[in-house]
């Protein structure tokens, strides 16, 4: 099962969990599963039109999905997906 | 007259004062087209901090922190300057470190923009990348750990708790704004990162203009895209931050700041970074509520370090 790693600022919406086991064949499905498990995280990741907010970065392994196929990037069972926060302060 | 006759004289010296002498005294630029819907008696200005030699407002605290440490003997014996940074402070440390012969080690979150990491490497800084999931707080914790484990190797500059940070703004940014506005500034608006800009500039201006309003702003949520700014309720609070100076911060949404960055470029000719967009959003929000006044904010850096964020410049 793919694993989604959650950054510190979003753990308030995942009951403090730093990793979440998710299901899905691509990034979009994985994120949909995340928001089903933890609905309050949704407005932090998606805008009102249902698109990813522009500053949200997702990595599959070492690669940013912006350099792959965006939210259509395929996800394998053993993949680790990372949601990356912006850089704050100083 | 031949070259051999040429002599430097005291009355006409070639300036040999180096980079540190060129920190500060940045232009105060008016926002013109973005303010056209405001009352004619309301003016909005921004300090153009990318005019500093290291390219950002961080030259001010970095230089003051280094000069204070040298004066106190903290950087003697070849100790390395150590700190955590999201990028700009590191670039300023590395700039003056290279110029003054001080080695620099920086804890930087691995998700810092590629441009920032490339600049730090070009300037010869040693970089310790930290877990991107932990953001800048993870870099702070790493720097603390390195400092505690190797006190003989590092001098920990600690920008979040070092009073030389806010004092830099008390000594330079504040006096510059007072003079540049001819003491007519009524509102000072600044974002919260380390809070040094807000604390030092705000404190100086308030002392000279008791009725001045000091207004802070921060991202509207813990998960945001305003690089360089902190959401204080959910982050490690800087030791130099005193909430009583400005009261409750305004909150700026990342999308609003990004849209403003594009407008600043296209409508004002100001090619600036994301935190400058946020500053403009906050300053214009303050200005809209006024019948008359002079609102001043700080634009921390230019847009070059954000070019890899392709969605930003559409």
CA dist., res. B245 & res. B64, Å (int): 22
CATH number of B59-156: 3.40.50.1100
Catalytic one among B58, B142, B213, B230? B58
B107-159 pLDDT, tens digit per residue, is: 999 988 888 899 999 999 999 999 999 988 999 999 999 999 999 999 999 99
Chain B residue at shortest CA distance from A42: B223
CA dist., res. B166 & res. B200, Å (int): 4
**B229: DSSP letter:** -
Give the pairing type, strands B250-252 and B213-219: parallel
A81: pLDDT strictly greater than 90: yes
- Phi, psi dihedral angles at A46 (to 5 degrees): -110, 150
B11: pLDDT strictly greater than 80: no
CA dist., res. A52 & res. A57, Å (int): 9
- Cα B222 vs. chain centroid, distance in angstroms? 21
Give the pairing type, strands B126-130 and A19-21: unpaired
Bridge partners for B29 per DSSP: B46
CA dist., res. B106 & res. B97, Å (int): 12
Written out in words, the top-level CATH class of the domain with range B3-51+166-306 is: alpha beta
**B84 assigned to active site:** no
* Per-residue pLDDT, B282: 98
**Reported ipTM:** 0.90
The Cβ of residue A56 has, within 10 Å, a number of other Cβ atoms equal to 20
Cα-based distances in Å from A44 to A10, A65, B73 = 8, 18, 47
B139 three-class SS: helix
- What are the DSSP calls for B4-21, one per residue? GG----TTSPPP--TGGG
Short-list A63, A65, A66, A54, CA closest to A30: A65
CB contact under 8 Å between A89 and B235, yes or no, is yes
The answer to whether B274 and B79 are in contact (CB under 8 A) is: no
Q: Using CB atoms and an 8 Å cut-off, which of residues 41-70 of chain A contact chain B?
A: 44-45, 47, 53-57, 66
The correct answer on CATH 3.10.20.30 for the domain covering A3-85 is: yes
* Per-residue pLDDT, B221: 93
A8-38 pLDDT, tens digit per residue, is: 999 999 999 999 999 999 999 999 999 999 9
Prediction pTM value: 0.93
CB contact under 8 Å between A87 and B86, yes or no, is yes
Of B54-58, B79-83, B231-235, the least confident: B231-235
* Same CATH fold assignment for domains B3-51+166-306 and B59-156: yes
CB burial readout B102-112, b (16+ within 10 A) else e: bbbbbbbbbbb
The answer to whether A38 and A20 are in contact (CB under 8 A) is: yes
B292: Cβ contacts below 8 Å, ≥ 6 apart: B39, B41, B42
Sequence spans of domains, chain A: 3-85
Top pLDDT among B204 and A66 is at: B204
Q: Does A12 touch chain B (CB under 8 A)?
A: yes
* Per-residue pLDDT, B1: 54
**B41 assigned to active site:** no
Top pLDDT among B308 and B279 is at: B279
B163: Cβ contacts below 8 Å, ≥ 6 apart: B240
| R_g of chain B, CA atoms, integer Å | 20
* Per-residue pLDDT, B204: 98
Q: Using CB atoms and an 8 Å cut-off, which of residues 230-249 of chain B contact chain A?
A: 230-231, 234-235, 238
Q: Does A87 touch chain B (CB under 8 A)?
A: yes
Task: Please give the torsion angle defined by the CA atoms of residues B60, B64, B67 and B68, in that order, rounded to the nearest 10 degrees.
Answer: -170
Helices B254-268 and B274-288 pack at an angle, to 10 degrees, of 90
Over pLDDT 90: what percentage of chain B? Answer: 83
Q: Does B142 touch chain A (CB under 8 A)?
A: no
Sequence spans of domains, chain B: 3-51+166-306, 59-156
């Amino acid at each position: 099962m793919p694993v989604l790693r959650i950054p510190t600022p979003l753990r308030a919406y995942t009951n403090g969990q730093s990793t979440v086991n998710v299901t899905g064949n691509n990034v979009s499905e994985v994120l949909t599963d995340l928001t089903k498990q933890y609905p309050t995280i949704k407005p932090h990741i998606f805008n009102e039109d249902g698109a990813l907010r522009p500053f949200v970065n997702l990595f599959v392994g070492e690669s940013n999905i912006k350099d792959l196929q965006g939210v259509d990037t395929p996800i394998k069972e053993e993949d680790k997906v990372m949601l990356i926060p912006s850089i704050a302060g100083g | 007259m031949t070259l051999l006759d040429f002599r430097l004289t005291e009355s006409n010296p070639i300036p040999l004062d180096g980079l540190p002498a060129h920190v500060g005294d940045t232009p105060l630029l008016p926002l013109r087209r973005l303010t056209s819907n405001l009352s004619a008696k309301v003016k909005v200005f921004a300090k153009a901090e990318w005019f500093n030699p290291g390219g950002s407002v961080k030259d001010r605290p970095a230089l003051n922190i280094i000069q204070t440490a040298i004066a106190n003997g903290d950087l003697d014996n070849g100790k390395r300057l150590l700190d955590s940074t999201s990028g700009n402070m590191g670039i300023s440390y590395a700039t003056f470190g290279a110029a003054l012969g001080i080695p620099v080690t920086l804890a930087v979150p691995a998700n810092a923009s590629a441009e920032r990491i490339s600049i730090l490497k070009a300037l010869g800084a040693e970089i310790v990348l930290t877990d991107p999931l932990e953001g800048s707080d993870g870099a702070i914790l790493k720097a603390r750990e390195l400092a505690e484990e190797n006190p003989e190797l590092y001098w920990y500059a600690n920008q979040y708790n070092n009073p030389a940070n806010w004092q830099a703004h008390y000594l330079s940014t504040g006096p510059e704004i007072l003079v540049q506005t001819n003491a007519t500034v009524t509102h000072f608006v600044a974002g919260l990162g380390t809070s040094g800009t807000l604390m030092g500039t705000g404190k100086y201006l308030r002392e000279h203009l008791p009725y001045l309003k000091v207004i802070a702003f921060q991202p509207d949520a813990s998960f945001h895209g305003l690089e360089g700014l902190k959401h204080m309720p959910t982050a490690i609070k800087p030791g130099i931050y005193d909430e009583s100076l400005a009261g409750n911060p305004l909150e700026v949404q990342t999308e609003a700041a990004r849209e403003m960055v594009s407008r600043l470029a296209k409508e004002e000719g100001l090619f600036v970074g994301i935190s400058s967009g946020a500053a403009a959003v906050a300053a214009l929000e303050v200005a809209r509520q006024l019948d008359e006044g002079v609102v001043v904010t700080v634009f921390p850096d230019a847009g070059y370090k954000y070019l890899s964020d392709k969605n930003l410049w559409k």
